[in-house]
Structure 1
Amino acid sequence: MVSEEMVSRDLSFPAGMRGDHALIIPFTTSGHFIPLLDLTRHLVLRGLTVTVVATSDTLPLLSPLISDHPSSVKALVLPLCLEATSGWNDLTSCTRTAIRDLGTLHGPIRDWIAGHHSPPSVIISDMFSGWAHRLAQEVGIKSILFSPSGAMALSVIFSLWRDMPRPPPADMEDTAFAFPEIPNQPEYPWWQLSGLFRAHREGDPVSEFIKEAFLANIQSWGVVVNSFSELEGAYIDHLMKMVGHGRVWAVGPLLPVEPIVSSGQRGGISSILVEDLVSWLDSCGDRTVLYVCFGSQARLAEEQTAALASALEKSGVNFVWVVREDQPTKVALESFKDRVAGRGLVIRGWAPQLPILNHPAVDAFLTHCGWNSIMEALVAGVPMLAWPMGADQFVNATLIADQLKVARRVSEGASAIPDSDKLARAIREFINWEDCPERVRADVMRRAAADTMGHGGSSSENFDKMVKHARNKSYIL
């Protein structure tokens, strides 16, 4: 929870600073915080001054941006203690608690805006901070929702909270729920829908707060999505229909500018020197390495770790495997490193994902289908082996595996234990396959991603339009 006392970090901007002032309200997990920081960096490069709400936990992620742009970026540090998340078993509960606790920042931020000599003209907030729309209404400024998920996933999320489908009986979690209004009419069993939505209990204060926050997201003055029209054009158009206006801007892929990409410091301190990692990859042949990473939240159980280790060993391919520091690995990895020495690199903790994916040795990516990972893989032109586990990942897997066909499914679910022989065969068949259709399509998306962010590209133009709207203090544009 938060007290009314706020800790400032030199929040005064220089007199005469050109450009309007935007207030950025992120969510605390890295998967949400990092892309919103990427968005913020591009706002600054387009001449805006920004204040970013931070806590003691997220301030280190923000510090490099402040150091690079000390006159344009300030931190509004609020005393807020959040529970740590520790894997899929309690991730939904922890996320619900964090959303509730962040909501207590409403009053302090409102007071800060009222007392600021140069108040913001727009609030840009993460989807888990939907209360920021009500805050913006109270202080008379515009609210823009930032979605770290893609347009297809956001369409499903909006539909769930708008329509509130009732859960099936406890023994019928495989019951399919269809979304006929969404392009391509996707459907998913109950257990694959948003954990936040499935945890909703009518009358429960936290549940009702989260519901109202998501409904407020739909009512936001504008929506910005980390995607691009060549990737999700039909779903971007659908979002415009859902929100009832055209202020939906696809501005992705949101990635940092140099030198952050090459340094590998985006989102945290790497557990391995980038130079050492690149040197190891250099020793491998081109397109011979499988990159394995399941993001910052998913934690494999011991049996899953053992099955994956066995599959990697049996496959015979080169690999880089990123393992969470708190992942139970004692039994599975005790002698594993010795047996795969020379062709396998295991990294414990945070890894520099962008340098890895963009290295010519990397041929494929075994991923949990988090949206940031998907976007980074597409920018690098790397095809994927999909193992969705929760959140928006099942929707993302539908997009990349079934529709775009830049990925192939190999497992499904947070508790799934893949057959190591089948997984090894899938890996072996995928790596260094000259005519791999997923690789051909991934390269097409790589070129589309580069074009859309270039001069005259749709995302570049959308970003400029979004900034123009953010600068304009009028609601009628």
Structure 2
Amino acid sequence: MTVNENYKNPTKSHVLIFPFPAQGHMIPLFDFTHHLALRGGSAITITVLVTPKNLPFLSTLLSAGLNIETLILPFPSHPSIPSGVENVQDLPPSGFPSMIHALGSLHAPLQSWITSHPSPPVAIVSDFFLGWTKNLGIPRFEFSPSAAITCCILNTLWIEMPIRKNDDEILEFPKIPNCWKYPLSQISTIYLSYVEGDPAWEFIRDCFRDNATSWGLLVNSFSAMEGVYLEHLKRELGHDRVWAVGPVLPVSEGNNRGGPTSVSVDHVMSWLDARADSHVVYVCFGSQAVLTKEQTLALASGLEKSGVHFVWAVKEDSSPRGNILEGFEDRVAGRGLVIRGWAPQVAVLRHRAVCAFLTHCGWNSVVEAVVNGVLMLTWPMRADQYTDATLVVDELKVGVRACEGPDTVPDPDELARVFADSVTGKQTERIRAAKLRKAALDAIQERGSSVKDLDGFIEHLVSLSL
């Protein structure tokens, strides 16, 4: 993405970027920040706020030679967060609410920094878990690392607060296009955990409500994929300051996008180079999900029985349960590559050999699969993953269901059939995936819809400094 030479404002517009400290949230916002800096050129200056232990995630961005500064604030203490922990990856999934609440304590030092800065920011772009940043006296733009449809559902949940009864209850969203509905068990766990009257939970509720009354919204999506939901958001929010700026892709491959790994990137790429086109299934469940022993064994059995070539990124917990895959790698030698830890997912999905992706349906994974035309085999487990799976399978029709639920142990024989069919069949879904890939790439070309939206956002930032 090139610099837009049309920005002639002699006064630079200073914008503050504030990510939520979870890998799946920081990475897309930092990638967006990179594109913002490149596209805005000399018209804007950027400051990124991080806590000390999350500074390494910024290394690729800071080494790019762009006009980007850092604001490092100490992580606030919180009774539910162990000392030294500054990232959600170091907490169980239930730690999200505590992290949201803890970061609210940065309001005072951040307000002090803004008011004392010689050239204070004209706006702040912050993650959708940081709604309280709307109350800093400058326009706040919500950045959603999730789908537009997820924004629609979250706004409805936290504003209307539908009554929660039991897990079998079907919650309907008739005001949202296509009349989405879900069993209560598949709704946001943060929403389901809300305790009325509890100060911490009232703060979290207000954070989500602040999203709906913030100055604007940036979504990691594009109009050809979610146009109907983007238009719904504009109607519900009552303004047109909604910009679809995705797919937000890395400008360059960095070494600090993930975590430790057992296999080098070069080895993974060489292994894939030796495979035939569209014959490899990639298996990965994101940065947080850890399969149980029973789920891991069922998945291993399904892969073994399927006969397909595969790359499997295994995230293991810290419990001393031994190598539960002992003997498996020997039995699948030559057609299976097991990576313990972080996998270079963007590069893997881009590779010509990869044809299908067993995924938990985190939005980053969905976007990365879409932009590479890879068929998705869905296994949603929590949060917005059920919504993403429905969008992928039922609306976009670029995926098929493989399993669902955090505790479900799949039938290995059924999994084997899904894997084998993903390589040899599913031609209709593949054609749709290829068309959606083209639409995604068109959106980020020079005159594409997402580039136009990014330009529109930058023009708006410039106008705020006039």
Class of the TM-score when normalised by the shorter of the 2 chains: over 0.9
| Greater Cα offset, 124-133 or 43-52 | 43-52
1:17–1:35 distance in 2 versus 1, CA, 3 Å: farther
Deviations 1:342-394 (A, max 9, x none): 11111111111111000000010000000000000010110100000101010
Amino acid at match of 2:53: D
Q: How does 1:85-104 map to 2 (within 5 A)?
A: 85=88, 90-92=92-94, 94-104=95-105
Question: Residue 449 in 1 paired to residue 440 in 2?
Answer: yes
2:408 is matched with which residue: 411, 416, 419?
Answer: 416
2:172 is matched with which residue: 155, 165, 178?
Answer: 178
Tell me the TM-score normalized by structure 1: 0.90
Output the CA distance in 2 between the equivalents of 1:283 and 1:405: 30
Output the CA distance in 2 between the equivalents of 1:61 and 1:77: 13
Kept after mapping to 2: 8 A contact 1:301/1:327:
no
1:357–1:18 distance in 2 versus 1, CA, 3 Å: farther
2:60 is matched with which residue: 60, 64, 78?
Answer: 64
Match of 2:358 in 1: 366
User: Which aligned runs of 4 or more in structure 1 are off by greater than 6 angstroms?
Assistant: none
Output the CA distance in 1 between the equivalents of 2:463 and 2:88: 39
1:50–1:86 distance in 2 versus 1, CA, 3 Å: closer
Amino acid at match of 1:252: G
SS in 1 for 2:234: helix
1:182–1:462 distance in 2 versus 1, CA, 3 Å: same
Match of 1:332 in 2: 324
Q: How much does 1:432 deviate?
A: 3.4
SS in 1 for 2:126: strand
Kept after mapping to 1: 8 A contact 2:360/2:378:
yes
Q: How much does 1:67 deviate?
A: 1.5
SS in 1 for 2:457: helix
Deviations 1:411-435 (A, max 9, x none): 11111111111111111111133x6
Kept after mapping to 1: 8 A contact 2:122/2:465:
no
Question: Residue 248 in 1 paired to residue 242 in 2?
Answer: yes
| Greater Cα offset, 318-327 or 184-193 | 318-327
Q: How does 1:273-422 map to 2 (within 5 A)?
A: 273-326=264-317, 330=322, 332-422=324-414
Match of 1:76 in 2: 71
Kept after mapping to 2: 8 A contact 1:129/1:213:
yes
Q: How much does 1:273 deviate?
A: 1.9
Match of 2:5 in 1: none
Q: Which runs of 5+ in 1 are unaligned?
A: 1-15
Deviations 1:274-300 (A, max 9, x none): 211111001111111000000001111
Amino acid at match of 1:131: W
Amino acid at match of 1:109: L
| Greater Cα offset, 454-463 or 328-337 | 328-337
Kept after mapping to 2: 8 A contact 1:86/1:299:
no
RMSD across aligned positions (CA): 1.9
Output the CA distance in 2 between the equivalents of 1:87 and 1:113: 30
1:19 is matched with which residue: 12, 15, 26?
Answer: 12
Q: How much does 1:82 deviate?
A: 3.5
SS in 1 for 2:121: coil
Match of 2:24 in 1: 31
Kept after mapping to 1: 8 A contact 2:20/2:130:
yes
Kept after mapping to 2: 8 A contact 1:87/1:298:
no
Kept after mapping to 1: 8 A contact 2:361/2:385:
yes
1:206 is matched with which residue: 200, 205, 211?
Answer: 200
Amino acid at match of 1:185: C
1:122–1:449 distance in 2 versus 1, CA, 3 Å: same
Output the CA distance in 1 between the equivalents of 2:457 and 2:88: 34
Q: How many residues align?
A: 446
Kept after mapping to 2: 8 A contact 1:82/1:98:
no
Output the CA distance in 2 between the equivalents of 1:419 and 1:100: 40
Q: How much does 1:332 deviate?
A: 3.0
Q: Which runs of 5+ in 2 are unaligned?
A: 1-8, 76-83
Question: Residue 192 in 1 paired to residue 186 in 2?
Answer: yes
Match of 1:9 in 2: none
Output the CA distance in 2 between the equivalents of 1:379 and 1:265: 22
Deviations 1:185-219 (A, max 9, x none): 01000010001100000011111010000100100
Match of 1:133 in 2: 134
Kept after mapping to 2: 8 A contact 1:87/1:297:
no
Amino acid at match of 1:418: P
Kept after mapping to 1: 8 A contact 2:59/2:256:
no
Amino acid at match of 1:99: I
SS in 2 for 1:337: helix
Q: How much does 1:398 deviate?
A: 0.8
1:264–1:430 distance in 2 versus 1, CA, 3 Å: farther
Amino acid at match of 1:82: V
Kept after mapping to 2: 8 A contact 1:264/1:352:
no
Q: How much does 1:270 deviate?
A: 5.2
Deviations 1:48-81 (A, max 9, x none): 21111111221100122111135x1111111114
Match of 1:237 in 2: 231
Kept after mapping to 1: 8 A contact 2:272/2:351:
yes
1:167 is matched with which residue: 158, 164, 167?
Answer: 164
Match of 2:454 in 1: 463
Match of 1:429 in 2: 421
Output the CA distance in 1 between the equivalents of 2:123 and 2:90: 35
Match of 1:3 in 2: none
Output the CA distance in 2 between the equivalents of 1:265 and 1:446: 26
Output the CA distance in 1 between the equivalents of 2:206 and 2:465: 26
Q: How much does 1:17 deviate?
A: 9.2
